[in-house]
């Protein structure tokens, strides 16, 4: 049994595997399949101050080794989350990461203020490609990343802030440093890549929103490169994700410099993907004489 615990800005996780935002809801459904308290944490569906309806359907399409989605931040609003879901999640003994979004810088501050002290980490979704206002608009330019990070931070006294970076940008290192400089306690990446899939019979995009966010196994090499770049650009912890399906995939991210990982699309391919990844991490460490998974972080040697 290797030591799988990992620490992200003062929060201890029993293992480095976190359910990625938008793919695990608030945890209830997966808890019907396995006990989610064995996870390191879960990141909630993107929360907003008011309830949101999201985009019309179809909201999903499939490519080779990837999927595209445009759910568009459908959520019950932060108050309903606090009243109905958070108390239950708190009993599960895992790190609760609240993924939040806003239309304006002020909304980002307000929702952070509302959740301050109630959750373990707040993950700032400044990179959702599927909503027209806000979301990705904030996540592209370093200046706006700094502005929204500063605003969010001003609403927080107790809970650490994780800024989730978009991959649809010019420079990951520049944007990672912008978030760090504005007070982010840690960074997560990658969100989805903007893409399009076309129904050639109808000559129309399959997804009602026309474009969707690309995720899943096929994006992993790009995500690993970006996580490596981010981890080397900043001093704060980095949480990596993008296409992780197996323990070996997760280890690539750890070696590239991530202290923890998130798993999204793989949950759709196998509902028990995360428990299997956790078990696999343990086995790999044991087989390789690694006593603690934290020993792997950032151990990549370049050619």
Ligand X SMILES: Cc1cc2nc3c(=O)[nH]c(=O)nc-3n(C[C@H](O)[C@H](O)[C@H](O)COP(=O)(O)O)c2cc1C
* Binding of residue 36 to other proteins (CB under 8 A): no
Which among ligand X, other proteins, none contacts residue 62 (Cβ within 5 to 8 A by kind)? Answer: other proteins
Near ligand X by CB under 6 A: residue from 41, 46, 134, 237: 46
How far apart CA 38 and CA 92 sit, in angstroms, is 9
How far apart CA 171 and CA 234 sit, in angstroms, is 13
Instruction: 81-88: list long-range contacts, CB under 8 Å, 24+ apart.
Output: 81/26, 81/44, 81/47, 82/114, 82/115, 82/118, 85/26, 85/27, 85/28, 85/44, 86/118, 86/119, 88/26, 88/28
CB 263 within 8 A of CB 273: yes
Near ligand X by CB under 6 A: residue from 42, 233, 263, 281: 263
Q: Which residues are catalytic?
A: 128
Q: Which stretch binds other proteins (CB under 8 A): 17-25, 83-91, 253-261, 291-299?
A: 17-25
* Binding of residue 24 to other proteins (CB under 8 A): yes
Which CB atom, from 6 or from 21, has the smaller least distance to ligand X? 21
The contact pattern for other proteins, residues 188-217, with x = CB under 8 A and - = no contact, is: ----------------------------xx
Q: What SS3 state is found at 220?
A: helix
- Token couple for 274: 């995360």
* Binding of residue 191 to ligand X (CB under 6 A): yes
How far apart CA 225 and CA 220 sit, in angstroms, is 9
Which among ligand X, other proteins, none contacts residue 192 (Cβ within 5 to 8 A by kind)? Answer: ligand X
Q: How far is CA 61 from CA 71, 128, 244, 266, 277, in A?
A: 11, 17, 19, 15, 25
Residues between 122 and 151 that touch other proteins (CB under 8 A): none
Partners of residue 60 on adjacent β-strands: 69
- Token couple for 303: 């050619």
Q: Which stretch binds ligand X (CB under 6 A): 80-88, 147-155, 262-270, 275-283?
A: 262-270
Residues between 216 and 245 that touch ligand X (CB under 6 A): 216, 219, 241-244
Which CB atom, from 139 or from 142, has the smaller least distance to ligand X? 139
Could you tell me the smallest distance in angstroms from the CB atom of residue 31 to other proteins? Answer: 10
Interacting residue ranges for ligand X, rule: CB under 6 A: 20-23, 45-46, 69, 71, 73, 99, 125, 128, 164, 191-192, 215-216, 219, 241-244, 263-266
């Amino acid at each position: 049994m290797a030591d799988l615990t990992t620490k992200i800005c003062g929060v201890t996780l029993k293992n480095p595997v976190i359910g990625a935002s938008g793919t695990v809801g608030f945890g209830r459904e997966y808890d019907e399949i396995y006990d989610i308290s064995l996870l390191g944490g879960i990141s909630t569906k993107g929360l907003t101050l008011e309830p949101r309806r999201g985009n019309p359907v179809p909201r999903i399409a499939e490519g080779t080794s990837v999927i595209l989605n445009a759910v568009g931040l459908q959520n019950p609003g932060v108050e309903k989350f606090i009243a109905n879901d958070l108390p239950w999640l708190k009993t599960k003994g895992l790190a609760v990461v609240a993924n939040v979004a806003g239309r304006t810088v002020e909304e980002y501050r307000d929702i952070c203020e509302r959740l301050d002290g109630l959750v373990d980490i707040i993950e700032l979704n400044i990179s959702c490609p599927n909503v027209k206002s806000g979301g990705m608009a904030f996540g592209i330019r370093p200046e706006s990343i700094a502005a929204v990070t500063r605003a969010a931070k001003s609403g927080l006294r107790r809970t650490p802030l994780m800024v989730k970076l978009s991959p649809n940008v010019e420079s990951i290192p520049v944007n990672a440093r912008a978030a760090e400089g504005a007070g982010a306690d840690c960074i997560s990446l990658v969100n989805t890549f903007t893409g399009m899939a076309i129904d050639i019979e109808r000559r129309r995009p399959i997804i009602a929103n026309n474009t969707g966010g690309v995720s899943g196994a096929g994006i992993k090499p790009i995500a690993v490169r970006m996580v490596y770049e981010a981890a080397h650009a900043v001093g704060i912890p980095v949480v990596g994700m993008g296409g992780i399906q197996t323990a070996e995939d997760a280890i690539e991210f750890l070696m590239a410099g991530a202290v923890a990982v998130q798993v999204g699309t793989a949950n759709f391919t196998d509902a028990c993907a995360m428990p299997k990844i956790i078990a696999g991490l343990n086995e790999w460490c044991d087989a390789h004489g690694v006593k603690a998974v934290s020993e792997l972080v950032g151990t990549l040697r370049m050619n």
